[in-house]
């Protein structure tokens, strides 16, 4: 079954087709082409996708969505960005799938991936999901355009850092179930306070289909605010958390270095399961997944089995054994992003790890605005609670944290990721546990790759 024909692309976008072709995939990144894709030539601030048409053709692209002349099979449109939005809407319109949308300050990619695993236990051949962190104004319509016409279950991640962004994205996705994982001070530089962030996250409910369900974090200090927003758009609301009164609640839970075990009450149904991922944040993530699965009306037991197969994501909690002097060390890769809540959760995982020493490589949490110094300093109790022996602090933004740390924690100050990598080469020994955590722009992911021998 083809994903798109040229006629369908032209009909969806209002473009003009140069002739018939069939696309089995969609991308606007020529590096992703393996053969048979529609390549969308996007014009951005940094580059113009039309420059990559020749290379995309050589790699086997089936056709092109362009706003300029093209020598190969194409659909010509006035604006390729607007055409991508239109193709995404058409992709959504033609399917009868049950769709879950996920947002939150932390945990949205993890919950999306866990939902993907759960859904694949139920519909292994008919589950669709957004890949990587394709959660913005280009990634969401691209993920919709990639959705097979016979999809039955789908999950899409949606992100934002400004008011109004989620409202636009959720009206593209039009989910039957909308999940908010958590609200914290991520992107505080663009909002007056956390309440304003909660309001922006609540925009996800605006796109709910009639009869749709909202899934909310019961333990959040912003629960009442989120619920008030959800009540205006959702036919039903499911809450998840540890507090009495949550619709999906952990009755018993325990986390160790090897993972987390949970007995949960899911709206009156008892479910026991184990996730091979440690930390209280993963227990909360799993409850959000079960709430979404229940809201979608699919098999809880199969979803729990899917959770048991969930693995740590690269840059988001994946753990690796890496070579060290006289043996091996444990690497906890949380290098993809950071905010106060995820920093605390990651440090707790480091603290629970069995290790001769604990080394925390911590870089800046970006986009915190005027609260940046205070929020970095407030990480100090979490570093102490994690029993960190050595803190490698990256960049000037972590100076307030260094000032707040107790003297018994050895501090190594470096200016950038390269400096952190050099410092680690002199520090790591057998039996150590090393945490990498910072905003993605700091580049600690390169350290993870180097320690794993990838580059």
Point out the annotated binding site for ATP. Answer: 104-110
Give the list of residues 6+ apart from residue 85 with CB closer than 8 angstroms, or none. 141, 172
Round to whole Å and give the CA distance between 335 and 448. 8
Residue with tokens 């014009």: 43
DSSP state of 32: G
The residues facing 256 across adjacent strands are 259
C-beta of residue 319 within 8 angstroms of C-beta of residue 349: no
Residue 203, Cα to own-chain centre: how many angstroms? 18
Give the list of residues 6+ apart from residue 49 with CB closer than 8 angstroms, or none. 28, 30, 39, 40, 41, 42, 43, 80
| Tokens describing residue 305 | 């089995």
Relative orientation angle of helices 223-231 and 194-201, to the nearest 10 degrees: 30
| Tokens describing residue 191 | 């909002």
Binding positions? 104-110
| Tokens describing residue 328 | 């091996």
**E strand map for 56-171:** 63-66, 74-76, 98-103, 127-129, 153-157
| Tokens describing residue 353 | 């790890």
Round to whole Å and give the CA distance between 96 and 107. 27
φ/ψ of 132, rounded to 5, equals 50, -135
Of 257, 265, 282, 261, the C-alpha closest to 273 is 261
Round to whole Å and give the CA distance between 80 and 4. 16
C-beta of residue 417 within 8 angstroms of C-beta of residue 449: no
């Amino acid at each position: 079954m083809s994903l798109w024909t040229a006629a369908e692309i032209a009909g969806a976008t209002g473009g003009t087709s140069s002739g018939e072709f069939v696309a089995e995939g969609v991308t606007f990144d020529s590096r992703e082409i393996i053969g048979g894709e529609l390549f969308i030539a996007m014009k951005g601030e940094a580059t113009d996708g039309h420059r990559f048409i020749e290379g995309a053709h050589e790699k086997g692209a089936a056709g092109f969505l362009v706003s300029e002349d093209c020598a190969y099979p194409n659909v010509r449109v006035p604006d390729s960005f607007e055409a991508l939005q239109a193709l995404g809407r058409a992709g959504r319109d033609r399917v009868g799938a049950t769709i879950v949308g996920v947002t939150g300050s932390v945990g949205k990619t993890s919950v999306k991936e866990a939902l993907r695993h759960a859904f694949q236990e139920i519909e292994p051949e008919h589950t669709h999901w957004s890949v990587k962190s394709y959660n913005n104004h280009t990634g969401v319509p691209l993920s919709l355009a990639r959705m097979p016409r016979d999809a039955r279950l789908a999950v899409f991640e949606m992100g934002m850092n400004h008011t109004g962004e989620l409202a636009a994205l959720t009206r593209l996705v039009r989910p039957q179930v909308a999940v908010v994982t958590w609200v914290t001070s991520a992107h505080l530089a663009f909002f007056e306070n956390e309440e304003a962030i909660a309001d922006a996250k609540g925009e996800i409910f605006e796109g709910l289909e009639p009869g749709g369900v909202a899934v909310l974090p019961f333990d959040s200090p912003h629960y009442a605010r989120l619920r008030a927003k959800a009540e205006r758009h959702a036919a039903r609301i499911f809450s998840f958390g540890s507090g009495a009164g949550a619709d999906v609640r952990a009755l018993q839970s325990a986390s160790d270095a090897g993972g987390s075990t949970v007995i949960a009450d899911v709206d009156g149904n008892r479910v026991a399961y184990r996730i091979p991922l440690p930390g209280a944040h993963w227990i909360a993530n799993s409850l959000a997944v079960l709430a979404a699965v229940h809201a979608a009306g699919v098999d809880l037991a199969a979803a729990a089995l899917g959770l048991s197969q969930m693995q740590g994501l690269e840059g988001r909690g994946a753990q690796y054994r890496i070579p060290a002097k006289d043996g091996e060390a444990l690497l906890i890769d949380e290098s993809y992003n950071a905010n106060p809540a995820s920093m605390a959760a990651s440090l707790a995982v480091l603290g629970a790890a069995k290790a001769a020493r604990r080394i925390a490589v911590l870089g800046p949490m970006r986009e915190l605005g005027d609260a940046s110094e205070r929020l970095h300093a407030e990480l100090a109790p979490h570093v102490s609670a994690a029993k960190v022996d050595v803190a490698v602090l990256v960049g000037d933004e972590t100076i307030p944290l260094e000032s707040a740390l107790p003297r018994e924690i050895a501090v190594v100050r470096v200016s950038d990721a390269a400096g952190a990598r050099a410092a680690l080469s002199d520090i790591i020994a057998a039996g150590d546990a090393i945490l990498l955590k910072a905003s993605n722009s700091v580049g600690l992911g390169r350290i993870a790759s180097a320690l794993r021998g990838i580059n």
